[in-house]
Structure 1
């Protein structure tokens, strides 16, 4: 018994020493993080809002981390290709993903099989920005308010059209959510990007569309279209005279495009804390706030836990919309 007890104590001491040494090495490694450039995967092509916002924050957090943050565009499959590549990366904080509404909240509802799970595969760090959509109509439509639009749609069921940047895009799903809340029948016309939506909306080929505020700002006073509402819960300071859908008879109506930083699941807690601190500090820079404001976005200051909760809530919301509207992607 004594020999057995002594052997047990010896093994326990060895295990404790090993655990402490691993913890010490991990803490020392995290304290040195990052010791080389960090790669930020952007799952969409260069030039779009996902890419532009990612580059703003990549430049801003680099001085905070003391290392270059390299943007790596990996477009394809609605953002899921880049998401899968990030999920398979080592959980060491050197490969991160610029995740957004499409990648983390909408894609799981649209695709039966994904190369990642929004929360099982990733550790949210912090959201960066949120931006509303503007409901705009062709200026020749006899509509000046949301109530006018709904009344006209009910008088012409199945005859008014709304455009989107593609099936399953946030613009499309916001239109489906509006249809359901208003109890109206609209024809969905998908495009391959926002530019053509705006062109056809002002060119009498579309009746209405939800457009990201950043894309709408240069066109707010164009003669071919008329903005009538915004999709945030509160009015936006960039367009203070534009009423919200919530105050236009659809309480709680909210649709926001957002982007933020996630890492492969399992990164060390100290590295997560370092990234979150650097990210939130960078988001307070006046230059960063000015740049994102020009794009129609509002800064977000969140903990990893708050970001995780937002991903869950947004995923649940858009899954319901996809299911109710029977949205299918080819």
Structure 2
């Protein structure tokens, strides 16, 4: 049987269109099942609270549940490695933060490469850090703290953080280098004991997230010296930045963001970023995050990737210069 060429041409076009339909439908189906958001720390704390807030709202926006999965251990490396090795389909995500991904990785040497094994989705927010002193320390300003530290010639003025290689640890090392302040780092296994010790007076100085100590600053149980970011924070408007205190170009913020395994389809990354940004723009989400001490961001995957590369290089130099290793 012979058919006119025009009919055969139309038949071929129809077949091509029908063949493309399933592909388009599959692309539009994401997500078609629940998504797992891995938090590489134990439940509780600012990071976990942020994850649960975003997961709940993001699940509503996507029309599928976003389940928080706490996978603590090895300074955040266990959870991060699990995500790095997961299927790149958008159904396993990481709620990562800089302390685990771009600072601690220079020291812990994990079995993943933060620059190549992840596809950044978006930075969820920035958390400003703060240096506070025990009331037993005779210093009310940063310059007074520098002067007091200079009297500790042999031992240095002890400052605590939640662990070796954390953002607060490296912020202290940067401060020692740029301001010439005589600081000696004391690593803790988590922030709660460090906070207890600075409240009790056995730890002179602590670097931590603003949200962790704002109530103690307001009650006078600890003394705020300065925040580390580029601007003051709304919850403690009277506390100056380190730049205002005379340390030029000093700006260190901790951040938290969403990452997927490398190779995740760009369309999936784009959908996740767009829906997360919408969630972060919701007034109730923004208000709750500000209460947690985190300023919502929701930037593009490319912008987030650039910051990860920049911070990784920056803190790598700090670790190298300070000779920081795990004891």
TM-score by length of 1: 0.90
Q: Is the 8 A contact 1:162 1:209 kept in 2?
A: yes
Equivalence map 1:273-292=2 (5 Å): 273-292=270-289
Question: Could you say if the C-alpha distance between residues 21 and 144 of structure 1 is closer, same or farther in structure 2, counting changes exceeding 3 Å?
Answer: farther
1:62 paired to 2:89:
no
Question: Could you say if the C-alpha distance between residues 119 and 269 of structure 1 is closer, same or farther in structure 2, counting changes exceeding 3 Å?
Answer: same
- Distance in 1 of aligned mates of 2:139 and 2:83: 45
- Distance in 2 of aligned mates of 1:237 and 1:266: 39
Which residue of structure 1 lines up, in the alignment, with residue 42 of structure 2?
Answer: 45
Question: Could you say if the C-alpha distance between residues 35 and 135 of structure 1 is closer, same or farther in structure 2, counting changes exceeding 3 Å?
Answer: same
- Distance in 2 of aligned mates of 1:64 and 1:251: 42
- CA RMSD, aligned part only? 2.0
Which residue of structure 2 lines up, in the alignment, with residue 12 of structure 1?
Answer: none
2:132 aligns with one of 124, 129, 136: 136
1:265 aligns with one of 242, 246, 262: 262
Question: Could you say if the C-alpha distance between residues 248 and 194 of structure 1 is closer, same or farther in structure 2, counting changes exceeding 3 Å?
Answer: same
1:179 aligns with one of 167, 176, 179: 176
Which residue of structure 1 lines up, in the alignment, with residue 27 of structure 2?
Answer: 30
1:118 paired to 2:106:
no
1:326 paired to 2:298:
no
1:310 paired to 2:307:
yes
Deviation at 1:249, TM superposition (A): 0.9
Deviation at 1:271, TM superposition (A): 1.1
3-state DSSP of counterpart to 2:121: strand
Deviation at 1:217, TM superposition (A): 1.5
* Cα deviations by residue, 1:238-265 (Å, 9 ceiling, x for unpaired): 2111110011111221121111111111
Deviation at 1:22, TM superposition (A): 8.7
Question: Could you say if the C-alpha distance between residues 191 and 22 of structure 1 is closer, same or farther in structure 2, counting changes exceeding 3 Å?
Answer: farther
Question: Could you say if the C-alpha distance between residues 120 and 159 of structure 1 is closer, same or farther in structure 2, counting changes exceeding 3 Å?
Answer: closer
Deviation at 1:23, TM superposition (A): 7.1
Q: Is the 8 A contact 1:131 1:213 kept in 2?
A: yes
Question: Could you say if the C-alpha distance between residues 28 and 207 of structure 1 is closer, same or farther in structure 2, counting changes exceeding 3 Å?
Answer: same
3-state DSSP of counterpart to 1:246: coil
- Distance in 1 of aligned mates of 2:137 and 2:126: 30
Question: Could you say if the C-alpha distance between residues 220 and 26 of structure 1 is closer, same or farther in structure 2, counting changes exceeding 3 Å?
Answer: farther
Which residue of structure 1 lines up, in the alignment, with residue 210 of structure 2?
Answer: 213
- Distance in 2 of aligned mates of 1:288 and 1:135: 27
Q: Is the 8 A contact 2:83 2:92 kept in 1?
A: yes
Q: Is the 8 A contact 2:100 2:166 kept in 1?
A: no
Which residue of structure 2 lines up, in the alignment, with residue 3 of structure 1?
Answer: none
Which residue of structure 2 lines up, in the alignment, with residue 156 of structure 1?
Answer: 152
* Cα deviations by residue, 1:110-160 (Å, 9 ceiling, x for unpaired): 133x22211311110101011111111111222111111111212322342
Q: What is the aligned residue count?
A: 313
Q: Is the 8 A contact 1:137 1:207 kept in 2?
A: yes
Single out whichever of 71-80 and 221-230 deviates more from structure 2.
Answer: 221-230
- Distance in 1 of aligned mates of 2:297 and 2:273: 12
Uncovered stretches (5+) of structure 1, i.e. residues with no partner: 1-18
Single out whichever of 99-108 and 277-286 deviates more from structure 2.
Answer: 99-108
Which residue of structure 1 lines up, in the alignment, with residue 244 of structure 2?
Answer: 247
3-state DSSP of counterpart to 2:119: strand
